[in-house]
């Protein structure tokens, strides 16, 4: 009997240690604020924005004007980046892709210079504040939300907003918890996961046109997780997979830039 308890402890103690480490480290793994580069000098056509949160934090954003302002309908792109992007990178990338649009992106809570601490709940709660601030500044006729990686779930959370005309989701997932469970099948992720973003639930019942752009060889978001999302999107306007692309190198491929442009044109044609 003594040997039994000794063996049981020998098994349980390492497992408990791993679970404790997983619980304590998951926020930093999902939101690596120290690894996110600081924004550089603001472009000449750039403007800084701010939005206050109900709990007293301040979100800082970047607004880039279109190359030709005052021409045609005013279209706003609100971007939500991946977990290692700063908002200025997001804004500049989208500005190059769609130079005729007004582009806004906000640094996530806890991502300098925004204050506070990041979490899935915080990012989802802050998304409508970012949309409100962007719309107040731009006064758009149309608004398209673009989300990259973890930002695709944040973007999808705005699907029920009456002011949103379309969503472009890049390397998206059905559930962040399901992604973690598939990446770490040897860990009991479910009961200990603190940062769920359920993209399927966010889109449930929404008639907003959705474009999906995925990477064939995505090593971060398993293709099965994107497939599970596709099956649940009720108004899929465009579905494109960039062949041989990975989660990070997709952004520098011409095929991706073309797909992003096609998604933009398709949604605005609705």
Give the CA distances from residue 147 to residues 13, 83, 87, 199, in Å, rounded to whole numbers and listed in that order: 40, 11, 12, 11
Beta-bridge partners for 215:
242
Average pLDDT score over residue span 68-94: 90
pLDDT at 59: 98
Average pLDDT score over residue span 5-30: 57
Under a CB-based contact definition with an 8 Å cutoff, are residues 48 and 62 in contact?
yes
For residue 57, pLDDT over 90 is answered with yes
pLDDT at 73: 84
For residue 176, pLDDT over 90 is answered with yes
pTM: 0.90
At 27-55, the pLDDT tens digits run: 888 899 988 988 888 988 899 999 999 99
**Cα angle value 134/139/143 (rounded, 5°):** 65
Average pLDDT score over residue span 228-249: 96
Rg (CA), the chain: 20
Mean pLDDT (the chain) is: 89
pLDDT at 264: 93
pLDDT at 71: 61
Over pLDDT 70: what percentage of the chain? 88
Which residues contact residue 87 at a Cβ distance below 8 angstroms, ignoring those fewer than 6 apart? 39, 60, 61, 62, 79, 81, 105, 106, 107, 108, 111
pLDDT at 5: 47
SS3 for 160? coil
Under a CB-based contact definition with an 8 Å cutoff, are residues 211 and 238 in contact?
yes
């Amino acid at each position: 009997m003594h040997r039994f308890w000794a063996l049981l402890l020998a098994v349980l103690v390492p497992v408990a240690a791993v679970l404790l480490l997983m619980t304590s480290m998951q926020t930093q793994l999902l939101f690596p604020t120290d690894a996110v580069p600081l924004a550089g000098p603001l472009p000449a056509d750039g403007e800084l924005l701010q939005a206050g949160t109900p709990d007293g934090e301040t979100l800082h954003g970047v607004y880039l004007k279109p190359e030709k302002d005052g021409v045609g309908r005013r279209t706003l792109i609100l971007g939500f980046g991946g977990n290692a992007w700063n908002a200025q990178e997001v804004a500049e990338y989208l500005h190059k892709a769609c130079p005729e649009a007004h582009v806004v992106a906000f640094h996530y809570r806890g991502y300098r210079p925004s204050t506070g601490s990041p979490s899935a709940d915080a990012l989802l709660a802050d998304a409508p504040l970012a949309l409100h601030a962007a719309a107040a500044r731009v006064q758009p006729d149309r608004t398209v939300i673009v989300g990259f990686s973890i930002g695709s779930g944040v973007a999808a959370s705005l699907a029920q907003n009456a002011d949103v005309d379309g969503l472009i989701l890049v390397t998206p997932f059905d559930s962040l918890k399901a992604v973690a469970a598939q990446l770490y099948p040897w860990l009991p992720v479910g009961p200990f996961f603190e940062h769920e973003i359920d993209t399927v639930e966010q889109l449930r019942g929404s008639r907003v046109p959705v474009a999906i752009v995925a990477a064939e060889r995505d090593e971060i978001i398993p293709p099965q997780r994107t497939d599970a999302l596709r099956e649940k999107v009720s108004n899929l306007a465009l579905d494109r997979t960039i062949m041989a692309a990975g989660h990070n190198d997709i952004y520098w491929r011409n095929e991706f830039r073309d797909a992003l442009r096609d998604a933009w044109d398709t949604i605005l044609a609705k």
